[in-house]
Amino acid sequence: MYQHVEAYAGDPILSLVETFKQDPRPNKINLSIGIYFDNEGKMPLPESVRVASERLGIKTQAYLPMEGHAGFREQLGQLMLGADNPALQAKRVAVVQTLGGSGALRLGADFIHRWFPNAKLHVSDPTWDNHRGIFMGAGFTVQTYPYYDAATIGVKFDEMCAYGVKFDEMCAYLQGLPENDVVLLHPCCHNPTGVDLSVEQWDTVLKIVAERKLIPFMDIAYMGFGDTFDSDAYAIRRAVDLNLPVFASCSFSKNMSLYGQRTGGLLVLAPTADEAELILGQMKLTVRRMYSSPPAQGGLTAYNVLSDADLSAQWQNEVYEMRDRIRAMRQKLYDVLSARQPEKDYSYFIRQRGMFSYTGLSVAQVHRLRDEFAIYVLDTGRLCIAGLNDSNIDTVANALATVFAE
């Protein structure tokens, strides 16, 4: 009956995780999946999140509304846009609690495709692979705009804004797009490259988006891992200031370690409060048709963190500690590689931001890392810096130096 059904080749990240689990070598190192681990190699729960979760206890929870917990939604809007943002005060922002960041992306994709059926999606080259899958699943045609400049690997630049991005090509591409096409953008900690736009570059990109009447879809999964919570949200807040029709999806998987609780949200800016209500109504309808309501435990935990001034401040400081540990691992990689091969410039490891690094490894070098050193990295060369710690950093750095010397 089902012989005509096509086989699924598997997700490249999750499939590699399964291969890693089956590897019998005792000293194997997994740097493929996007999970934050502490210096002991454990997935930590921030103390602020633990306290908030214990306050809830384990008890039966009633269904949340289709759009999610009202307090969570309010706090999410304030975190993303700033508590005093005029758009929030004017009730021009529709906010929905979602099934993690992926659920937010799909909810927004379904809405846009329903009401702007001719719109195409444009993603950076490269982007997180599931961006394509989610929007294609919603019916979109997906195309790519120039972004990462591989030629900058190993090349010194005096200015951060000159590093890593094919910026002129990116701008030229965006200037050629038709009205209402969707541009998916990474506000901070670009996945998979770790290469971000500067403030000046963001201003230029958003000006083009406004002039071309495009729909910016901002996906922020690593807020707080770049610089600060406020600066990491710069692109989203600037887009709102410009009254662009911005969609912003976020996730609390990484910065609150609520991976399994599937806690995220979607924000949509509307021209008026009445239009925001129309958008929210259609979002609720879509939720009802897909999964009825979001999980309660994760949303209530996040709400209790965000709504308590002391816990919120503690949480942000804990995220900054995670950020700084990642930076320290980047610096260690740079130091070891530079000492081993001083003729090469490895400064891109410390220029890139967030959990991931585009290493410049070839597929053959990635496979050599896996086969000879039991170090698992994606075939693209993306390495999860958050998987490094004091116990494995020297092993990884020396293995990288060996394969880079080919």
Query: Could you give the residue numbers annotated as active site?
Result: 128, 219, 254
Q: Which amino acid is at 100?
A: G
CB 266 within 8 A of CB 98: yes
Beta-ladder partners of 217: 184, 247
State the Cα–Cα distance between residues 385 and 3, nearest whole angstrom. Answer: 42
For residue 355, what is the enclosing H or E element? none
The residues, ordered by sequence, that sit 6+ positions from 11 with a Cβ below 8 Å of its Cβ are 129, 130
State the Cα–Cα distance between residues 3 and 131, nearest whole angstrom. Answer: 29
State the Cα–Cα distance between residues 266 and 76, nearest whole angstrom. Answer: 9
Alpha-carbon separation of residue 156 from 95, 180, 196, 359, 375 (angstroms): 43, 38, 17, 15, 28
The residues, ordered by sequence, that sit 6+ positions from 250 with a Cβ below 8 Å of its Cβ are 76, 80, 101, 104, 219, 220, 221, 223, 264, 265, 266, 267
Q: Which residue reads 């435990």 in tokens? A: 297
The closest of 257, 247, 270, 363 to 319, measured between CA atoms, is 257
State the Cα–Cα distance between residues 164 and 157, nearest whole angstrom. Answer: 10
